[in-house]
Structure 1
């Protein structure tokens, strides 16, 4: 299958690392554009990671840390998501989250990214784990639909930083998400730039808020906040 979703790039932003830590603080306000929102940046990034993987077998960074993957997997276990559920990993990057999903028994997996280097890297990573039979790798051409679950860890953040057509890109993302999800399909998003309130506003059309997943919190100046926001939405009928 192929996809109509554009601008699906993984993003380090200010929270990407390869540890379990998610303690860095990002702005709670809307933010300006950046090269982190461009296709060229991510193509270069994943080409370097692909070269490194081929040389030494290092898969590269795990954006938001391993805890970000574990958090979503715990939610899926708690909700008893069937292992046959059709799952789309938006902005698959190095494919590490697809690897974890496959190891947890999920077999109907699709990864998408507009970076050719990312797709090749993800293929290599899953091939090394002997998990390529469970995953369909895509670039952004054509159409996707009827997914039970879509998962985004940082991709909407990256789209929000794109210097070109920033507003239109965010609107297109929401519409494309509605197009690929089944009615009542679930959407799990992790962001280090958007607050819960902002995400509720941006996904208010066509989606119902389901729950917020617990994330690390901080205290500063007598106020409490979260360094990362993780929300679950359901596609409205």
Structure 2
């Protein structure tokens, strides 16, 4: 372990790192959507997802509209449908909760979307989406949730390895996190990815120190 790696401190486990929590949360959101059309919580706010979509659309040198994109931990699928509205045509959203996929499918139907949704777990290579390769993998909050599980230390390594595996050569990985700083993300993913760019996010100043509530980082897959 390098001095840089030793600075990474594991987070305390939380209910946010359990599948039961997310199944119950999306069951409630599915009922709410059925009752009154509420799509549910948009993690980190709508601006966070839009920054990701804007970056992809503004960098045709890295990604074309027809390139396959995987949204990992898609939840209600809104990020996928935002990418579709921007002109991307081959988008797959996965989530390990059936309830989340059911919600995404309902929203998709109402929006007349062509996004593909399926149950899948980035930690489980038996998931069917591993049969495909993607030019881009996006993550808005999934790595954060994994980082809060009882088995986070092992799961984070598996996450990084499997994300690398499912990407095409020179593929892009884009992550938005509220639990980890830019430097921490760059350090943790450096075994399999090269830091390409950090997307500017709103900053705040408190007690004379400047910081960000969320961090969005873009990585390139590296050959191993």
Fold shared by both chains (TM-score > 0.5): yes
Which 4+ runs in 1 deviate beyond 4 A? none
Which residue does the alignment assign to 2:134?
147
Q: Distance in 1 between matches of 2:25 and 2:89?
A: 28
**Cα deviation per residue 1:157-204 (whole Å; 9 max; x = unaligned)?**
0000012x2211101100110110011100110000101111011101
Using structure 2 for the length normalisation, give the TM-score: 0.89
For 1:35, which of 2, 6, 15 is the aligned residue? 15
Is 1:134 the counterpart of 2:120 in the alignment?
no
SS of match in other structure, 1:194: coil
Is 1:67 the counterpart of 2:47 in the alignment?
yes
Q: Distance in 2 between matches of 1:70 and 1:191?
A: 14
SS of match in other structure, 1:43: helix
The 5 A counterparts of 1:168-183 are 168-183=154-169
Is 1:200 the counterpart of 2:186 in the alignment?
yes
Q: Which runs of 5+ in 1 are unaligned?
A: 1-27
Superposition deviation, residue 30 in structure 1: 4.1
The 5 A counterparts of 1:2-21 are none
Question: Is the contact made by 1:218 and 1:225 (CA closer than 8 Å) also made in structure 2?
Answer: yes
Is 1:48 the counterpart of 2:32 in the alignment?
no
Aligned residue pairs total: 208
Tell me how large the CA RMSD over aligned residues is: 1.4
Q: Distance in 2 between matches of 1:47 and 1:134?
A: 21
Question: Is the contact made by 2:70 and 2:92 (CA closer than 8 Å) also made in structure 1?
Answer: yes
Q: Distance in 1 between matches of 2:131 and 2:141?
A: 20
Question: Is the contact made by 1:116 and 1:139 (CA closer than 8 Å) also made in structure 2?
Answer: no
Using structure 1 for the length normalisation, give the TM-score: 0.84
Q: Distance in 1 between matches of 2:117 and 2:30?
A: 19
Superposition deviation, residue 40 in structure 1: 0.5
Which residue does the alignment assign to 1:125?
107
Q: Which runs of 5+ in 2 are unaligned?
A: 1-7, 122-126
Question: Is the contact made by 2:74 and 2:94 (CA closer than 8 Å) also made in structure 1?
Answer: yes
Which residue does the alignment assign to 2:204?
218
